[in-house]
Amino acid sequence: MSKYKLKKNNIENFLNELREEYSVFAPIESDGTVAFQKLDDVKLPDISLKRTDRPPKEIFFPHTEVILSFDDKNAESGEYRGKPIAVFGLKSCDSKSLHILDNVFLDSSYTDTYWYKRRSNSLIFTIGCNNPLPSCFCNWFKCGPFDSTHSDVAVTDIEDSFILEPVSEQGTEYLAKSKYLEKAEEKDIKKAEALKEKAESDMPQPPDLKKLKEILDNNQNDKLWEELAAKCLGCGVCAFSCPTCYCFDIQDDSRRNKGKRVRIWDTCQEPLFTKEGSGHNPRPSQKGRTLQRFMHKLSYMIETQNNFGCVGCGRCVTLCPVNIDIRDFIKKVLQVKGDK
Amino acid sequence: MSNLQEKVKKIFSDEKLDLLIGFEKGTLPLRAAPSFVRKSEDLDKLIFDITCQNNLAKHLLNEIKRNPDQKIGIIAKGCDARAIIHLISEKQLERKKIIIIGVPCCGVISPFKLKNVLNGREVTDCTINNETVICKGKDYEKEISRTDILSGYCLSCQYPNAPEYDYFIGEQTKPAPPEKQFEKVDELEKMTPDERWEYFKKEYSKCIRCNACRNACPMCFCDECFIDRNKPRWVGKGNDISDIMIYHIMRAIHLAGRCTSCGACSRACPMGIDIEALNKRVTKEIKERFGFTAGLDCEKNPALADYKTDDNDEFIM
């Protein structure tokens, strides 16, 4: 497939052109925090395209989303009705996270219309990580810094320009009609390939995770869980920074004869998450809650979708207030001899 | 073995401790993690330096809730000790079951400040000096002044040493100049109400409702927090600015006369919200109205749990 070159001084034009057809999101830094924000006439992406502090899931699954507005006569769905969404500058771990969430929200038995309306026809530009961060570990989970499997276009930053390679049909179509692309020269492609190789070899070798699920499944009483729970504050930093955590709560907000139904990110780390109407809580301890989160990511999701629920983005690793490091935990689990 | 490890080992065996709560090296450079030691030989992993950002009183409280019969020793910065002392005054902990081991604190790092000083680059290696921290990454090396990355609470800390302790390891450190204590509040008080509203709106609109501030706080120990009440629900969990503000204002008011200005909340916040301003404003009010500072005396009643017949009631209309 042909590769294109986008000169960096043309990025603004390219994104403006993209905006004609799409609602475009890209990493923007404001007040010390990088997040995917919708571009407009004044908002330009942070061209260094850092890993965002906030996960990209919020583009398609907002933190707080009105799913229904109602009054005493009518009710109206809050599903997305805007332009199709394009995201420029997702990392490979993040584009994989969207795929994992597709499996959740669009599985064979149920289509979540709120996710679907935003996600359908979206155009994903995944940028290769020239310099994976020390906290990155995407290569633990059959992914890599330049993995573009779950994208429409693969982008490589070669200093003065970006090299764009279509991955999907939609990506091929879009790139073919853009006014701001030129054909990539052989030397640019070589440069991009060298960056890919360097980034891949720069990442430390991952441990072998073949036995991880089995060890976890058979050792839920191991003292490792106690140790983890003793440290854990039970806050939602990991879940809310995680690109694949998808649990939500639904609340009705109504005043007099008007109201709205909203769905809001929730986390299994909160006791309220499992509290039943009777007041009984089947998961009353932090140990149970911590276990749930790790088991869900590292065992149950293998059963439900044959993927680990972790993409190795490293956000929880750097943000956890008590330094709970999932990499460290996995390594310790792999050393458990098994006591059944 | 460091001086700290050696002395704690002796205390551990002399006091027949069941558990020692302290800090150990974390998995990332410049990050420590809470450490729970039940065997003397594991005390070798203890550390104490500017990376020890958590308030261990929270973990002490959780451990006591799990098993009230343990004798626990705890490594305490000034603020950890103040939190313990205040919790004792609120009858949440028993003094005789806790061995407070004071350590001299020169302030701890705010991870959010560090991230921004390094412009998002991560650290692979570091050297902690007296005045500076040298951070090394994949393709950079940067010497940073400690004051640029220390938590705002630490830069204004009046009690860097435990006010009450059973042991103290090391030389006591000096507090920040007194005028620093409420510097942040003083700045905000100079603003017009509209400017202040804008400031708080900007800060709190960053909130993702992860509750890290509440969960890191040793004073937030309610079995059921008001935000978890849902029959009826008192406050929404979403990102509506009114709900966010209600949460933060209510929390600040619940901390009146109880906050020990440890700053664990602001260091836990992944969004770098200025939680200090509101909490310090309440602390200042309590100090001015009641002459009370939380966490200095186990025997003294907390300001809002006390009554004086000669109270001048000057703020009651």
For B85-105, the pLDDT digits (tens) are 999 999 999 999 999 999 999
Cross-chain residue pair A236–B116, CB shorter than 8 Å: no
Token readout for B182 is 């409420």
Cis peptide before A132 (omega within 30 of 0): no
User: For chain B, where are the E strands, in sequence order?
Assistant: 19-25, 32-37, 46-47, 72-76, 98-102, 125-128, 132-136, 141-145, 167-168
How confident is the model at residue B309, as a pLDDT? 85
pLDDT tens, position by position, B173-232: 999 999 999 999 999 999 999 999 999 999 999 999 999 999 999 999 998 899 998 878
Give the residue on A whose Cα is nearest the Cα of B211: A235
- Contact list in B for residue A31 (CB cut-off 8 A) is 202, 206, 272
Lowest mean pLDDT among A106-110, A184-188, A307-311: A106-110
User: Beta strand pairing status for B132-136 and B125-128?
Assistant: antiparallel
- State how far the Cα of B55 lies from the Cα of A42, in Å rounded to an integer: 42
pLDDT reading at A195 higher than 60: yes
Cross-chain residue pair A230–B215, CB shorter than 8 Å: no
pLDDT reading at A334 higher than 80: yes
Q: Measure CB to CB from residue A231 to each of B31, B34, B206 and give the nearest one.
A: B34
- State how far the Cα of B290 lies from the Cα of B284, in Å rounded to an integer: 10
- Contact list in A for residue B270 (CB cut-off 8 A) is 53, 237, 240-241, 319
How confident is the model at residue A1, as a pLDDT? 62
Q: Measure CB to CB from residue B212 to each of A262, A321, A327 and give the nearest one.
A: A321
If pLDDT is split at 50, 70 and 90, which confidence band does A265 have?
very high
Cross-chain residue pair B214–A235, CB shorter than 8 Å: yes
Mean pLDDT, rounded, of chain B: 95
- State how far the Cα of A269 lies from the Cα of A231, in Å rounded to an integer: 13
How confident is the model at residue B248, as a pLDDT? 97
Min distance A268 CA to chain B CA atoms (Å) = 12
- State how far the Cα of B28 lies from the Cα of B122, in Å rounded to an integer: 9
pLDDT reading at A340 higher than 60: no
Q: Name the stretches of chain B with pLDDT < 50.
A: none
For chain B, give the number of residues: 317
- Contact list in A for residue B28 (CB cut-off 8 A) is 134-135, 317-318, 323, 325
User: Beta strand pairing status for B141-145 and B132-136?
Assistant: antiparallel
Cross-chain residue pair B238–A53, CB shorter than 8 Å: no
Cross-chain residue pair B216–A321, CB shorter than 8 Å: yes
- Contact list in B for residue A64 (CB cut-off 8 A) is 238-240
- Contact list in B for residue A262 (CB cut-off 8 A) is 236, 238
Phi, psi of A277 (to 5 degrees): -55, -30
Phi, psi of B151 (to 5 degrees): -55, 140
**How large is the greatest C-alpha to C-alpha distance in chain A, in angstroms?**
68
Min distance A242 CA to chain B CA atoms (Å) = 12
pLDDT tens, position by position, A204-238: 999 999 999 999 999 998 899 999 999 999 999 99
Cross-chain residue pair B208–A321, CB shorter than 8 Å: no
Q: Measure CB to CB from residue A323 to each of B27, B212, B215 and give the nearest one.
A: B27
How confident is the model at residue A45, as a pLDDT? 82
- Contact list in A for residue B267 (CB cut-off 8 A) is 321
Q: Measure CB to CB from residue B208 to each of A31, A240, A327 and give the nearest one.
A: A240
Residues 276-315 of A with CB under 8 A from B: 286
Cross-chain residue pair A32–B233, CB shorter than 8 Å: no
Cβ-Cβ pairs closer than 8 A, A with B, add up to 126
Q: Is any Cβ of chain B less than 8 angstroms from the Cβ of A46?
A: no
Q: Measure CB to CB from residue B212 to each of A63, A235, A286 and give the nearest one.
A: A235
Q: In b/e form, how buried is each residue of B286-297, taking b as 16+ CB within 10 angstroms?
A: bbebbebbbbbe
- State how far the Cα of B129 lies from the Cα of A267, in Å rounded to an integer: 40
Cross-chain residue pair A231–B58, CB shorter than 8 Å: no
**What's the average model confidence in pLDDT over A18-28?**
96
How confident is the model at residue B317, as a pLDDT? 58
Residue B25 burial by Cβ neighbours in a 10 Å radius (0-12, 13-18, 19+): middle
Name the residue among B62, B205, B209 with its Cα closest to residue A236: B209
pLDDT tens, position by position, A136-145: 999 999 999 9
**What's the average model confidence in pLDDT over A276-284?**
92
pLDDT tens, position by position, A96-133: 999 999 999 998 889 999 999 999 999 999 999 999 99
Min distance A213 CA to chain B CA atoms (Å) = 23
pLDDT reading at A338 higher than 90: no
How confident is the model at residue A339, as a pLDDT? 52
Cross-chain residue pair A54–B208, CB shorter than 8 Å: yes
Q: How many CB atoms lie within 10 A of CB A208?
A: 9
Residue B71 CA to its chain's centroid (Å): 23
Substitution target from B36, B237, B241 for chain A, most A beta carbons within 10 A? B237
Helices marked H in B269-307 — which ranges?
276-290
Cross-chain residue pair A233–B26, CB shorter than 8 Å: no
